[in-house]
Structure 1
Amino acid sequence: MVPKRLLLQVHRWSGLVAALLILLQAGTGALLVFRTSLAELVDPAGMTRRSAAGEASLSQVVDTARARYPGYGVEKVGFPQTAQGVYLVHLLDPRGAGRYVSVDPGTGQALRAGGLWAFPAEAVLQVHYRLLAGRVGLALVMLSGLSLLVMAATGLSYWWPKRGRLKKSLLVDTRLPGKVVLRQIHRTLGVACAASAVFSATTGLVVAGEFMLTPGPLVPLAASAEPVRGDVDGALAQARTVYPGRAIRDVRLRQAGALDVFFWAPEASPHAVHRVRVDLAAERVRDVTPAARAGALWMTILPIHSGDIFGRAGSLVILLGALGLVTLAATGPIVWLLSRRRQ
């Protein structure tokens, strides 16, 4: 049997080393539960359409974005995901520096343009998935997930009560000094959030691990600064013939002379997509990759990680779990500092 003192030491130092990472991951995760609605609420001027009607073409959206940043190439065009949503264009210069432009779906006019921090919801997404640091960021994300698993295991093992003492072991006695109450709150909340922590850490590790090995859907690769050669509207129309009536997540211009169109595939999972690659010069479908044949583990695991696969109830559970982890990541170091001051 592992000594209680050793369990406490491992739990404490794992938490102190990874506290900031866990705080970032849990905090951004909580914000991402309702990311689309949050983006429109926080930035209505830049992330909600102003036009009442009309439908701008893809070429118009691309031209609008390139006009704001000459010398930048279009890497991705995110399509509106709600009735009030906008196009969000991601551009890259030859050195890999990124810029974003939101475009009104009705008029094709730019609503907001700037770097990543000009678009808070996108910034939160990039911080959560890779800490704005590429593969190094993904490695740190995985480290925080491993630390969370270690803390859940050691914390539960240290706390585990004797038979008949469960209720007492979870009691928070508000008559005691404040630092003792804080420690009891940390303990009780940790027990309550243990299952959620293990769930989030395990699924997050699987997704981050796959993105570490492959670029994934969230990591920009490259974009040519040269003007797009070919009819993107015609290419998009060709792609739509493969999956008529399907909503589009985004289109990408990563490969020279080709347009990749990603259609939502809700029959596979809430985050799954079908990919259609169209030759821009010939306006001919070059390749089709259905979600079932993509071989991407994240399409299955990511909606579980986010709670989307369980509907609104699942999203609320994930939100509460994330807020619990934020509280634990904040109270843990405070409890340690108070104990050090007492000593």
Structure 2
Amino acid sequence: MSFTRVSKEAEDVLMEILEHEHDSDYWKMRFDKLSDRDDIVLRGCFKELRENGLINVEYADNYPYLITILKDGYLYEKYLEEEKNAELTPFERELNELLKRAKNIKAPINTAPPNMSKDEYNKPSEIWMNDVQIFYNNYLKDHALGDRIKTLLFHRALGAYGDLVAALTSVSNDRKFIDKINGAQEVLVPKYQAKAIPDYDVFISHANRDKEELVEDLYKSLDKLGIQIFYDKESIEWGDNWKDKILNGVKKAEFAIIVISENFFGREWTEKELKELLSRQNRNGQKLILPILKNITMEQLQQKYPSMADIQAIDSKNYSTDEIALMFAKQLIKRLKTE
């Protein structure tokens, strides 16, 4: 998907929605306190967020009583950060990353804490300083603080870590030096390319006979959350080569939900899809397949497909399709936040 930034006012409202996601009374109280003008502005922000696929809103008595945060709403800050990073040079990205990491690293100590050796405790800061050494060698030898940083890295006294953080912070505020570095890199360094976003969040593999009882409702539940779905009924258009289209969906989805029933067994294309998905999962070493059992047992699944014996499945009779969709959304958000 292409990232579309909303207005600053709408961004602030989205952050407010995320903060109060589980407070059902918050927005009624919030609207009750507004002037007529502010009420119009806030409703405009809700409209903007909805139109950009970040939230869904249902109203009662002219108040938003049910706000559903969609996938892109949860990931908006991540997309925003990626957009900002895409505009940075390698020097700026590496510097920002070092300073960001430093916020979560404890300064080294001389005395070991309980239940941990001193070396183990100090290891994160030591690794960080090793990375600063590389950064210094690449960029900072000519900086006004270059000699100071070199000395700190050479001796690595107890206070060196904090002094290095302070030095890098000063470098990050040295616009003249940054501009000089960036100017030298414009020709030499290729521009940043963001990680490709999958064409689909999920591919639904199923037997046609299971559409009416389960798959159709599952598609609708996923679609309500703004999830990008490859579902043959919706994704294959008039005149498409359906075989190529399906194989493309198998290859370009982040996950695959496989609805497995007795109808699934022995069908040419369900078997082909499963084979391709298993091959891709084994090749990439990353979770891909999310099985749903429909009127079969785990023993039947393992007997028919031994290669799926170790893949955790869920039983459709234990969950509604809305619950399954929310479970999937959590998996997807977790995946995308770590990439």
User: TM-score, normalization: structure 2?
Assistant: 0.25
Larger Rg: 2
User: TM-score, normalization: structure 1?
Assistant: 0.25
Higher relative contact order (CA 8 A, sep 6+): 1
